[in-house]
Structure 1
Amino acid sequence: MKTLLAVAAIAVAAVTFGPAAAQPAAPIQMWRLDCGEIQVSNLDVFSDTFAYVGQKKTLTDSCYLIRHGENYLLWDSGLPGELAGKTAPPSGPFTMSLKARVTDQLARIGVRPEQVNFVGISHNHDDHLGQAADFPKATLLIGSEDYEATAKGPSAARLAPWIKGGTKVEKIDRDHDVFGDGSVVILDMPGHTHGHQSLLVRLPRTGPVLLTGDLYHFTENMRRHGMPSFNVDRSDTLGSFDRFDTIARNLKARVIIQHEPDDVAKLPAFPQAAN
């Protein structure tokens, strides 16, 4: 009888304190933000096999705010904020413009910069880390090699709050579960840069969403597995293509190519959120 009672007590404890009694999943929402526009006069820079000779295209530059309970992650930070309301002079085949800073967009939904707990950077190009310094209290989540390269390079000012010290940096070398419950996971996808990352967000109603970073730049580029001429490692990129596509199939995920206007339109227009 004592043994039975002990077993019963353990069972009760397991129900009370174990996984079955875990706290309800934190509410998750995701907003897409307009972080700029890029006119490309020579689309063939996105192919090392001459796939887009003579073609032009307008790309978007999108960022994302994810709310997890009371916490916020900003994924990518767009073109430099000083471009707001302006169009920059052409830089090679690229002409970039920005309508509004990320902070001004977040103000529309009542989110202040100091409320953003994490800034996740897919990679260290200026159209993705341009406004990161507007969130100096946030923990920076970035590929370790991309962080080190930026700290020594011409874009170091974009990450000044973290390079100067006093603000936390998590340098990531593999997949990273941001909130510890599998709902928001940074995926290691090297090749475009050495520390390039994509993002998996599991929304309660929409289901799994995969944000590419710059693994892909537009739909045709994804279909052909086009290799931008400026990627740092061809073999790593091909491996990341395969991994990303397999994850998308296995999870039946909604893929958002962050520079593709048609893909960005798969999510609600700001200030509405995807749930």
Structure 2
Amino acid sequence: MFRKGMAAMAAIVAGLCLGHPSRAQDLKLYAFSSGALTLGKGALVNNAPMEPAIQVPVGFYLIRHPKGNVLFDTGNNDRIITDPGYWGAAFTAMKPVNTPDVAIDAQLKKIGLTPDDIAYVVPSHLHLDHGGNVGKFPKSTIVVQKTEIQNAFWPEPGTGGPYMIGDVMPLRSANTDNPNAVKMIQLDGDLDLFGDGTLIVKRWVAHTPGSQMMTVRLKNTGLTILTGDNVYFRENVEKNVPPSISLAYSPTGFFTAFEWIRMMMATQNANFFTAHDPDAFKAMKKAPEFYD
């Protein structure tokens, strides 16, 4: 069993080494802010205190690729800027930043883009702070795990709290024979998005039934892993700190993700970006600055 596991891991590593340098040199990775949430660290990290509450960022990312712009996550639904009641009790509980400057249109405008300029939207999962604006991209192709879209509409018992049905309803057509209202790739596994090794969507069931991460191969920065909520804080990976069990659909999935990321760091000098680590996000370049 151990040998099989190591062989499988080696195959993953080999697959990630197939990126074409000619493509990688043209990529740019931008970090954006969808505001912040106010909560106790213990809501995300096992045995961490719930008091005092801290502000955690809600980050999302865009990659410029020669074949099209790719958005990883979409932040909080912009509707809460003018209609806090849309989130109901979650708004009062998490006190999200909801100023107009964190709207996804305003953020993308920093690099001269609009939602219509996005070729692919890759939500790490569809919780309200990651898939909130997924419905604002009618001209894009949504790349999502089939189990995630199913769970957003019909959640398994105990998993439904962080989903907002209003966020995902724009993806659903009334036509029962063709229920997709937008172009969509429903995955059951990994996807090399452009077939050149530079952007690989990786199914990794941990935070949710259909959570996914994405690797970005940049010429100068190197391999960068966008983790979604499979990693909350850098200490999760660096110190193997477990997440809060309340938001862990597959606790073992978290630990295998941590292990895989550490292996990528050791063997390929990779780095990883999270959405919610306050210190790490503060230190990052923000759009219009970029990583290449």
- Provide TM-score, normalisation by structure 1: 0.82
1:274 aligns with 2:260: no
Aligned identity (percent) is: 23
Task: Give the alignment of 1:103-252 within 5 angstroms.
Answer: 103-152=105-154, 155-164=164-173, 165-222=180-237, 223-229=239-245, 230-252=247-269
CA distance in 2, matches of 1:213, 1:199: 9
**Counterpart residue type for residue 94 of structure 1:** M
> Could you give the per-residue CA deviations for residues 154-184 of structure 1, whole angstroms, max 9, x where no partner exists?
6233223432224221122222111111101
CA deviation after TM superposition for structure 1 residue 85, in Å: 7.4
In structure 2, do the counterparts of structure 1 residues 221 and 115 end up closer, same or farther at CA, with 3 Å as the change threshold?
same
Greater fraction helix: 2
CA distance in 2, matches of 1:274, 1:98: 27
CA distance in 1, matches of 2:111, 2:214: 23
Is contact 2:70-2:119 (8 Å) kept?
yes
2:42 is matched with: 44
**Counterpart residue type for residue 81 of structure 1:** D
Is contact 1:151-1:163 (8 Å) kept?
no
Which of 73, 77, 101 is the matching residue for 1:76? 73
Partner SS state of residue 109, structure 2:
helix
Q: Which segment drifts farther, 139-148 or 248-257? A: 248-257
CA distance in 2, matches of 1:155, 1:130: 8
Partner SS state of residue 97, structure 2:
strand
1:30 aligns with 2:29: yes
How much is the aligned-residue C-alpha RMSD, in angstroms? 2.5
CA distance in 2, matches of 1:155, 1:271: 30
**Counterpart residue type for residue 155 of structure 1:** M
> Could you give the per-residue CA deviations for residues 182-235 of structure 1, whole angstroms, max 9, x where no partner exists?
101112221111111111111112111111111121233442432222211222
In structure 2, do the counterparts of structure 1 residues 93 and 112 end up closer, same or farther at CA, with 3 Å as the change threshold?
closer
> Could you give the per-residue CA deviations for residues 42-80 of structure 1, whole angstroms, max 9, x where no partner exists?
3222244x2435453221010111110140111000011
Which one has the largest radius of gyration? 1
Is contact 1:83-1:97 (8 Å) kept?
no
Gaps of at least 5 residues in structure 2 are 1-19, 156-162, 174-179
1:259 aligns with 2:268: no
**Counterpart residue type for residue 46 of structure 1:** L
CA distance in 1, matches of 2:286, 2:141: 27
- Provide TM-score, normalisation by structure 2: 0.78
Is contact 2:242-2:255 (8 Å) kept?
no
Q: Which segment drifts farther, 121-130 or 205-214? A: 205-214
> Could you give the per-residue CA deviations for residues 16-53 of structure 1, whole angstroms, max 9, x where no partner exists?
xxxxxx9942621111111120111x3222244x2435
> Could you give the per-residue CA deviations for residues 78-124 of structure 1, whole angstroms, max 9, x where no partner exists?
01102337977863752211332111221232212212110000012
Partner SS state of residue 236, structure 1:
helix
Partner SS state of residue 95, structure 2:
strand
In structure 2, do the counterparts of structure 1 residues 95 and 166 end up closer, same or farther at CA, with 3 Å as the change threshold?
closer
Is contact 1:178-1:185 (8 Å) kept?
yes
Bigger relative CO (Cα 8 Å, ≥ 6 apart): 2
